[in-house]
Amino acid sequence: MKDGRQLNIRDLDQVSKDHPVAVHHRGGHTSFYNPKAFEMADVNRQTPNPPGGTFDRDSTGALNGRVTDNAKSVFYRVGNRQSQTIENSGLDAAPTALDREVAGLTHISKMFARYGVTSVHHEGGNLPAMQKVRANDDLKHRISYEASGKELDAMIAAGIQSGFGDEWMRFGATSEHVVDGSFSERTMALSVAYPGTNYKGNVATTQGDLNAWIEKVHRAGIQINCHANGDVAIDMYLTAFERAQKLFPRSDARPKITHCTLINDDLVRRIKALEAVPSLFTTYAYYNSDKFSFYGEDLMKRCMAFRTLLDAGIHVAAGSDFSPGPFDPRMAIQGMVTRTGWDGKTWGSNQKISLDEAIRVNTLNGAYNSHEEDIKGSITAGKLADYVVMAEDLYSIPVDKIKDVKVIRTVVGGKTVYEG
């Protein structure tokens, strides 16, 4: 909002009083609704918060329009959503869902190449579309595919384990199984209250349900991946995996912790003991610095803790969380080295890392994250010829200029997939 305040129910009431209106945060954990939407969902000021979510209220106890995490589900079951037809598509024939997926993946693959990204851990997606894009020779990047839902169940039923596939498309870890809320949207589960509030964030599951899910997937030989931002959620995840590993020991399992944002000394010790692979926000240090004041410097010293995790000998990897965060590795590296945002403010400077380390996190450690460090992640004889040519030497320019260095060429498998 231009005046710096948060969107509210009164703003959306001005959009329409007759139709339900929703505004969704790009992170996916919070939405804002108008009074008509609340009416249709049968939510009012007396409605209690469900487990793992909130209907936020103003100082008088009235709904303020903001809804977080699990509380959003009631809105999915009411109202109508427009579907694409010939009439509203502007085309001679309405594209099928597969056509749209193929077009989207073809486009984003070109964008990955343009920004120097050669391998991506895909959070779900459309496998038939990916195969069609590859068959069309339009796939410019390698895919570690992260399955969930029916696809994951089918993998377990068929005995397909992580690693199945080839150097272009391979089943990797699971999609991120959500344990808590969002860092940028300020709903992640903390052991202390958010500064100035009594709120400690949202836990999206129970320990019992998390234990059962992790045991099932771990026994199937599939790499576990959970979305765990706050220290409470990370603790729950590690507890569940420690239990699964005790029941069914597996060597080199490398449980993936997506985000792993707020850590403490005990969590670091346990992450190291399990040989887990945290995948931390990278571009956020630059891109989301205006959000950090909601946590304060004391908590930010333990957020996106690359320095602490690397010093502990942990293979911490890069996570853009695209589309909530930009995927540009140049922005990521600059933010990791400087901890300074677009607004010129620096938070958690104790977690700065060197340029060498930032490059490794975005390359070799990413390959380690998907058990592919033997074939990618460094320019080494015998590995895949995936590399990027930059217009300038990153080591000879000011660190606050890294994000602006031009990508001259991106090469995947020895083939130029982008030239600028």
| Across 151-176, average pLDDT | 97
Residue 3 has pLDDT above 90, yes or no: no
Residues in CB range of 322: below 8 A, 6 or more apart: none
259 pLDDT exceeds 90? yes
Radius of gyration of the chain (CA): 22
Please name the residue that has the structure tokens 């993998």: 155
pLDDT of residue 114: 98
- pLDDT band for 2, please (50, 70, 90 cuts): confident
Q: How far is CA 348 from the centre of its chain?
A: 21
Residue 375, judged by CB atoms within 10 A of its CB (0-12, 13-18, 19+), counts as middle
The span from the CA of 411 to the CA of 114, in Å, is 10
Residue 412 tokens, joined: 């995947």
The answer on pLDDT for 89 being more than 70 is no
Q: What are phi and psi of 300, to 5 degrees?
A: -65, -20
Report the pLDDT value the prediction gives residue 87, as an integer from 0 to 100: 64
For residue 113, the surrounding DSSP H or E stretch is helix 97-114
State mean pLDDT over 35-40: 97
pTM greater than 0.85:
yes
What percent of the chain is modeled with pLDDT above 90?
A: 91
According to DSSP, residue 292 is labeled G
Please state which of the ranges 93-97, 168-172, 182-186, 288-292 shows the lowest mean pLDDT: 93-97
Per-residue pLDDT band for 91 (boundaries 50, 70, 90) equals low
Helix (H) or strand (E) holding 10: helix 9-13
Write down the pLDDT at residue 124: 85
- Three-class secondary structure of residue 418 per DSSP: strand
Write down the CATH number for the domain with range 176-419: 3.20.20.140
d(CA 362, CA 282): 9
With a cut of 70, say whether residue 243 has pLDDT above it.
yes
- What's the rounded mean pLDDT across residues 233-255? 98
For the ranges 80-89, 182-191, 367-376, 403-412, the lowest mean pLDDT is seen at 80-89
Q: Where residue 82 falls among pLDDT bands split at 50, 70, 90?
A: confident
Q: What is the pLDDT of residue 265?
A: 98
The DSSP letter of residue 130 is H
The greatest distance separating any two alpha carbons of the chain, rounded to the nearest whole angstrom, comes to 66
Listed by start position, the domains of the chain span 9-76, 97-175, 176-419
Query: What pLDDT shows up at residue 287?
Result: 96
pLDDT for the residue 211: 98
Q: Which of 75-84, 161-170, 269-278 has the lowest mean pLDDT?
A: 75-84
Token pair for 151 = 């696809």
In a 3-state reduction of DSSP, which class is residue 226? Answer: strand
Asked whether the CA dihedral 328, 334, 339, 345 is positive or negative, the reply is negative
Task: Tell me what the mean pLDDT of segment 158-181 comes to.
Answer: 97
- Assess whether pLDDT exceeds 90 at residue 97: no
| Of 394, 374, 393, nearest in space to 384 by CA | 374
Name the DSSP letter for residue 92. S
Query: Residue 95 has what pLDDT?
Result: 76
Count of residues for the chain? Answer: 420
The predicted-structure confidence for 324-357, as pLDDT tens digits, reads as follows 899 999 999 999 999 999 999 999 999 999 999 9
**pLDDT beyond 90 at 23:** yes
Strand order in the sheet with 225-228: 177-178, 225-228, 256-259, 277-281, 317-319
pLDDT > 70? residue 108: yes
Q: What is the DSSP secondary-structure string of 230-273? A: SHHHHHHHHHHHHHHHHHS--TT---EEEE--B--HHHHHHHHH
Hey, how many other C-beta atoms are within 10 angstroms of the C-beta on 222? Answer: 23
Which of 169, 100, 102, 96 minimizes the C-alpha distance to 132?
102
Cis amide linkage into residue 323, ω under 30° from 0:
yes
Mean pLDDT of the chain: 95
State residue 83's pLDDT score. 72
- Is it the case that residue 174 has pLDDT exceeding 70? yes
Detail the DSSP E strand segments found in 75-232.
119-123, 142-147, 169-174, 177-178, 225-228
Number of H helices, E strands in the chain: 16, 15
Q: What pLDDT shows up at residue 88?
A: 62
Task: Please report the pLDDT score of residue 192 as a whole number.
Answer: 96
Percent of the chain whose predicted confidence (pLDDT) is above 70: 97
Res. 231: pLDDT tops 90 = yes
Residue 100 DSSP label: H
Q: How far does Cα 55 stand from its chain's mean position?
A: 24
Tell me: pLDDT of 240 over 70.
Answer: yes
Contact 8, 65 (CB under 8 A): yes
